[in-house]
Structure 1
Amino acid sequence: MEFGTTATVETAAGELESHKPNPMSPMRQQAKFSDIDVNDEDDDDAHLQRLGKRPLLNRSFGFMSILGFSCSALLSWEGVLVTSVPGLLNGGPAGVIWGFLLNWIGTMSVYAAMAELASIAPTAGGQYHWVSMLAPARCRNFLAYITAWLTVTAWQAMAVSTGYIVATLLQGMVVLVQPTSSYIPESWHTILILWAAMVFAVVMNSTTSRALARFEGLVLVLHLAGFFCVLVPLGGWSGQGLSFLVGFPTVATALVGADCAVHMAEEIQCAALVVPRALMYTIFINGSLAFAMIIALMFCLDDLPSALAAAETMFYPFLQVFLTAVGSATGACIVAGVILAVGLASSVSVYASASRMLWFSTSTWSGNSLPVTAIVATLTTTMLLSLIALGSKVALSALLSLVIAALSSSYLLVCSLLLWRRTTGAMQPHISGSAGTRRVPVLDPDDLSWGVWRVPEPLGTINNVFAVLYSAFLLFWSFWPQTDPTAPETANWSVLVFGAVVVFRVLWYVVRAKRHFKGPIRETS
């Protein structure tokens, strides 16, 4: 697969073609000689036309449905239960709590910057398109190419990780209910359960966009109600500082992925305003729920060694915590079942975002415009990558760790370029229009203006600086191993996977893609 070539129709939700700035470039000619008529009812389609894209998908998502979509994809309070092991092993309960608070603030800062960009260019390409829009002309195509592969890789890895969590959680619940049985979780059991869960996600994503939007609205209710269903029953490194830092990225996984709303932008009504709001509301709501769940979990940890030991038999220590808090295996299993249901629902959201990033073409099934080809391709990728678990759980763990590294690197690149643009005075004020029809120029990377949503200055620049620092900090620590001393079976191999992806794509760009890749694909003229 190669982004932006004529052989592949549309990749990474491919958008308009970026060109080097010259007086006769098509983008400049379009911006100079042709404006787009924008009516208040047609703003969404006009935004896409400004970006050189044809409106192809039905806009069935409103604010509440896309909020449910992004909240379920994050699995915040559910995620902190699942990913609490490294934090407890390294920094202890205090490390988990303080690590989450820092991650919450940092993530909110990053998504505030991304929300500003989503308001300028609400397109499913997200980081890929924004990098092409913000980068200097001399390196625009190269950076867009690398960003496209990083985001696609991250979301494909996230699709695998979501299925893996659902499968292993179900196996852990079986062990919880029948601790004395002869059942031993096998890798091939995990793979088959994973495949079944992901088929469900594919079926839900291949219905209609309206049905998907309604489903995500129900998931929001389940996400919020399930929080109380779980909360109510709950009632060494050489130094503590280093222990806290190596466990820091794992806690961050509970808040990674809110940009899923960005990748659904072309299916959202009033996307230039709804997407930024959804990003910020998602981080606030999920952060609040996750922090409350962490506090409850820490108070229920009467026997930390037993909880950590449960990771060997039931995959996740929180199952042992549930057993201790509820007092019966059946009750603990019922509480864990809520998390399993939300996790399965989350796979639908993750698959929707992953498929939009891997948008080979727009297929039609039952008369509904949906990227079915990309959805099926994502399922195929998930099934193939999950086979790694048969030979090495360490390799699969490295793949799952890749999510943090790939996404944080794309965030770092986007936030850095936005900071460069805003500090050099390259961003123009928002062009507001009165009611009725108005004329808006086609977007030109060399003449950008703010969208309808932005962080006011000087807070915007301060926040942007912090977002860059946080992204770099998270990226650095995401490659560290979680245990000391480190053995091959406990090493963090994500640096190898991440490095292999980046090196291979850079070499491929130099050898071949440089001659073909011209940035996001332009569909309109």
Structure 2
Amino acid sequence: MTGTYEMETSKGDSNGPPSAELNIERLSIESISRRKDSQIERDNRELERLGKIPVLKRNFAFMSMVGFTCTVMNTWEGELLLFTQSFSNGGSAGSIYGYIIVWLGTLCVFASMGELASMAPTSGGQYHWVYMLAPKSSRKFMSYLIGWLTVIGWQAAVASLGFLSAQLIQGLAVMGNANYEPLAWQRTLLLWASIAFGVCVNTVISTALPKVEGLVLIVHVLGFFAILVPLVYLSPHNSTEEVFTVFLNEGGWQTQGLSFMLGMIGAVFNFLGADGAVHMSEEIQNAAVIVPRAMVFTVLLNGAMGFGMLIAVLFCIVDIDAALESPTGFPFMAIFEQGVRSERGAQTMASILVILMLCGTVSVLASASRMTWSFARDRGLPGWFYLSKVNPKTSIPILSIALTTVISFLLALINIGSSVAFNDIVSLTINGMYTSYLIGNSLLLWRRLTGGIGSYSRDNTGLTNVSHDQLSWGPVRIPEPLGTMVNAFGCAYLLVMVFFSFWPTAINPTAETMNMSVVMVGGTIILSLIYYAIWARKVYTGPVIEIS
């Protein structure tokens, strides 16, 4: 019998019984499918413990989410785009040491936020965490205010990335045609086109978004080496002393230390957005574990690549004055051309950044729309009844994507009147997001110092992490006392950076160089308070418990 069975199974022809290999392969596929379904069931139960009904499809895994967050942050790309600010206030040495501080501070911030994401992996993120951690007397209002700041911060981020993509395209055009003069209305049309590309990917091929993000991660890494290698190999190199010891104070500040602090704000912008994974939590398998890991891994990976690109550029600068005065508007384009001694080569290298910035628009639009949808689901926004709808066929919040698109298109019109005014809109990204990070992380520090957070238990079937009297850690937690140290350092870092984010880049600023972000943030807060007084206080009660 044994010999007969071996003979039959070894034939493997189309007329005979299926081979043992095929049976094993089928069983393996079925086993993987059952494990996947089991994981999704556990994720849905975890979400139900937070009082939410699962309505989105969990299509993302670890690598696709790393690709997602890496393209939201675009750290090494941002180091090239925002080179002027960090170099003018700090010089070569200030850029390097400021970057290291921002990298370490950001890592601590997102490590603590990873603990919060593990406790409550919902698309709401910061405003949900504030509600569950804050004192009962103030949790409703604090949660509402943080929800608005986070929504506005992400809306501004979409417009910001579209604006940078449009500027890059115009910069490339100037490289290829010195007679071309970039016009504001053309930049606005290019911004609209960039946002439209992100909308197309998020709606027409939304089911393929995880695969797209995995592919973008590959381009993100390969693009880094495609620029770094020819730049370092072909460029003449500055001395180590010039790179690591020379500080600048082009802003005219009273002290070099003050100039150094302001120079760090450029690096801060390049590390924004890892919490994009948080707002996609309800579309991620094993979100309580994957989201914290993806955020921390992204900060480590992007931070390393950003640092490598920064060092390479500082060593390869040939003529810094010519680079800063480049007609393209981007010094890095002139640095590329000086280094590789080829206009076409420099254009090719710069084109990689255009592609990656467009891909970043896809990810930022997805995060912004999920954040908007989540806050609308909890009745924090005008028109919440409609914005909280999810398309039953695609399981994506179409109306929230549409609102995000309309807001970005309207913000783009400001650029026609004044690019300076639009830059103030862009600054909302740092102010809004960092304020939400600061409040959430500070409340976590307060709770861990005063106690009240119970141990993690997967077997708990009741509501958890909905309010301050039902707190428990998630499956991912930093062991003590390291957790408290990381949390405290992250809060101190955020406090300093929020303070300096409202400063101009030069002393005695004019109307064109003044940082008006305090007006933008103040206007957002006033608008939210008016809506709260008129209507929201009647309907917003914090994260809505959808499951009794």
Q: TM-score when scaled to structure 2?
A: 0.85
User: Residue 225 of structure 1 corresponds to which residue in structure 2?
Assistant: 222
Displacement of 1:517 in angstroms is 1.5
Show CA shifts across 1:181-230 (max 9, x none). 2x110000001011111111001001354300000000000000000001
Distance 1:455 1:186 in 2: 51
Distance 2:134 2:188 in 1: 41
Structure number with higher relative contact order (C-alpha < 8 Å, ≥ 6 residues apart): 1
User: Residue 494 of structure 2 corresponds to which residue in structure 1?
Assistant: 471
> Is residue 397 from structure 1 mapped to residue 423 from structure 2 by the alignment?
yes
| Aligned partner of 2:391 among 349, 364, 367 | 364
Secondary structure at the residue paired with 1:348? helix
In the alignment, is the contact (CA less than 8 A) between 2:317 and 2:339 conserved in 1?
Answer: no
Displacement of 1:361 in angstroms is 2.1
User: Residue 173 of structure 2 corresponds to which residue in structure 1?
Assistant: 174
The 10-residue stretch of structure 1 (499-508 or 248-257) with the greater mean CA deviation from structure 2: 499-508
Displacement of 1:514 in angstroms is 2.1
Show CA shifts across 1:409-458 (max 9, x none). 000000011011111111111114xxxxx442211421211000010000
Question: For residue 301 of structure 1, what is the amino acid of its counterpart?
Answer: I
User: Residue 99 of structure 2 corresponds to which residue in structure 1?
Assistant: 100
> Is residue 160 from structure 1 mapped to residue 159 from structure 2 by the alignment?
yes
In the alignment, is the contact (CA less than 8 A) between 1:48 and 1:55 conserved in 2?
Answer: yes
| Aligned partner of 1:343 among 354, 357, 360 | 357
Distance 2:117 2:541 in 1: 22
User: Residue 202 of structure 2 corresponds to which residue in structure 1?
Assistant: 205
Cα RMSD of the aligned pairs, angstroms, is: 1.4
User: Residue 135 of structure 1 corresponds to which residue in structure 2?
Assistant: 134
In the alignment, is the contact (CA less than 8 A) between 1:127 and 1:410 conserved in 2?
Answer: yes
Distance 1:211 1:131 in 2: 33
In the alignment, is the contact (CA less than 8 A) between 2:172 and 2:328 conserved in 1?
Answer: yes
Distance 1:510 1:362 in 2: 25
> Is residue 426 from structure 1 mapped to residue 452 from structure 2 by the alignment?
yes
Show CA shifts across 1:156-193 (max 9, x none). 000000000000000001101112x2x11000000101
Q: TM-score when scaled to structure 1?
A: 0.89
Question: For residue 85 of structure 1, what is the amino acid of its counterpart?
Answer: T
| Aligned partner of 1:440 among 440, 448, 461 | 461
User: Residue 277 of structure 1 corresponds to which residue in structure 2?
Assistant: 293
Distance 1:87 1:214 in 2: 35
User: Residue 15 of structure 1 corresponds to which residue in structure 2?
Assistant: none
In the alignment, is the contact (CA less than 8 A) between 1:362 and 1:369 conserved in 2?
Answer: no
In the alignment, is the contact (CA less than 8 A) between 1:60 and 1:209 conserved in 2?
Answer: no
User: Residue 385 of structure 1 corresponds to which residue in structure 2?
Assistant: 411
Displacement of 1:513 in angstroms is 2.4
After superposition, residues 144-155 of structure 1 pair within 5 angstroms as 144-155=143-154
Distance 2:365 2:39 in 1: 32
Distance 2:480 2:124 in 1: 27
After superposition, residues 8-407 of structure 1 pair within 5 angstroms as 42-179=41-178, 181=179, 183-235=180-232, 236=250, 237=252, 238-310=254-326, 313-359=327-373, 360-364=387-391, 367-407=393-433
Question: For residue 321 of structure 1, what is the amino acid of its counterpart?
Answer: I
After superposition, residues 470-489 of structure 1 pair within 5 angstroms as 470-489=493-512
Displacement of 1:301 in angstroms is 1.4
Displacement of 1:484 in angstroms is 2.4
Which is higher, the Rg of structure 1 or of structure 2? 2
In the alignment, is the contact (CA less than 8 A) between 1:208 and 1:370 conserved in 2?
Answer: no
Question: For residue 280 of structure 1, what is the amino acid of its counterpart?
Answer: V
In the alignment, is the contact (CA less than 8 A) between 1:61 and 1:210 conserved in 2?
Answer: no
> Is residue 416 from structure 1 mapped to residue 442 from structure 2 by the alignment?
yes
Distance 2:406 2:535 in 1: 26
Secondary structure at the residue paired with 2:66? helix
Secondary structure at the residue paired with 1:118? helix
Distance 2:206 2:186 in 1: 32
Distance 1:108 1:141 in 2: 29
- Give the unaligned 5+ runs of structure 1: 1-37, 433-437
Displacement of 1:512 in angstroms is 3.7
Displacement of 1:508 in angstroms is 3.5
Distance 1:460 1:345 in 2: 34
| Aligned partner of 1:500 among 505, 523, 527 | 523
Secondary structure at the residue paired with 2:395? strand
Distance 1:93 1:288 in 2: 18
Displacement of 1:507 in angstroms is 4.1
Show CA shifts across 1:91-124 (max 9, x none). 1111111111100000000001100011011000
In the alignment, is the contact (CA less than 8 A) between 1:95 and 1:244 conserved in 2?
Answer: yes
- Give the unaligned 5+ runs of structure 2: 1-36, 233-249, 374-386
Displacement of 1:511 in angstroms is 4.4
> Structure 1 residues 507 and 364 mapped into 2: Cα distance closer, same or farther (>3 Å)?
closer
* Identity value in percent: 44
